[in-house]
Homo-oligomer: A and B are copies of this chain.
Amino acid sequence: MSNMIFIDACFRRPTAHTPIWMMRQAGRYLPEYMAVRAKAGNFLSLCHDPEMACEVTIQPVERLDVDAAILFSDILVVPNEMGMELQFIKDHGPKFPKPLVTDADLDALDMKAADKLVYVYDTIAKVRSRLRADKALIGFTGSPWTLATYMIEGQGTKTYAVVKKKIATDPAFMHKLLEKLTIIIQDYLCKQIESGANAVQIFDSWASALEESAFFEFSWDYMLRIAAHVKAKYPHIPILLFPKGVSGYLDKIREKGGNFDVFCVDWSTPIELAKAKLGDKYILQGNMEPTRLYSKEATKEGVEHIVKVMGKESGHIFNLGHGMLPDLDPENAKYLVDLVHEMTKR
């Protein structure tokens, strides 16, 4: 038993209630976040400033009483420190003005990126020293595939045509890049743990861009390698994997196995299905549709369904099935947290 309910739940140990946190719980829907964000100037400056990043990491824990904090940062700081210029353009999202095209571009990537992410480690150390002892701090990274997609497309994409053309015409290029990212991410997560992270989550936000065979070849297998590496070094640290939108691939995910603790379920995967396919092998985290938070009634209905399926016993961490939206009401978020705590009391 640890003193953290979130960590106990990751290892299927009994807990007083089902723990809950929310993806993007530190974000624009919170006025106190917006205040710090305004002070920071731009988004990347906020990621680079451990004091302010620490502040926004802790805000939702204080306001909502969630059971875990998640490091405030961005998945794209990794490619940024690998030498790629990164811009955040208003109403457009992140952009790499010089996306990767040639093998020479790959050779130019800085393999010491994990050493340069000191502002992340400093943020983690600060948060851990100030966070209540019973609240877990979750570190995170983007998956190799999701980072590679941004690095090749240069920005968000609807069709993923550029990166998929690489898959169809030059898979060796993809594997070379994914290999580099895997090595850096392994190091990055270990350093986060050494700085005080109590758990780490790998976000594979673009998993759903890949058909089944490509998902395993270009994404999942690399995530499993990272998990195995971190697990070998830090077996007491839970590893959470979040491949978004892969409800069609659960049989094969089960069959493949893998040394991680928590499978994160997005809202497009029915929780019943995730439970039936993976619930005995992994703790499930998820998966309420975030837009239910637009109303208390829809929130209550969502919670009741998920709690009914997952039960009050161990095996479940409550979360949203995707990130908080900027125009959600913090009051409804608080209502959600209280409701889950109340309804799952053992």
Contact = CB atoms under 8 A, between A and B. Distances in A.
A245 B169 CA distance: 25
A298 B171 CA distance: 11
Interface in A280-303: 289, 291-295, 298
Given A248-B248, A248-B270, A268-B248, A321 B211 contact: yes
A246 to B, nearest CB: 8
A167 B305 CA distance: 17
Contacts of A273: 248, 251
Contacts of A158: 156
A208 interface: yes
B294 A165 contact: yes
A298 B161 contact: no
A269 interface: yes
A169 B291 CA distance: 10
Given A248-B247, A248-B248, A248-B273, A167 B211 contact: no
A164 interface: yes
A214 B289 contact: yes
B321 A270 contact: no
Given A211-B289, A211-B321, A248-B247, A164 B294 contact: yes
Q: Which 10 A-B pairs have the closest CB atoms?
A: A247-B248, A164-B291, A168-B294, A168-B298, A168-B295, A211-B289, A212-B270, A165-B294, A248-B269, A211-B267
Interface of A: 156, 158-161, 164-165, 167-169, 208, 211-214, 245, 247-249, 251, 267-270, 273, 289, 291-295, 298, 305, 321, 325, 327
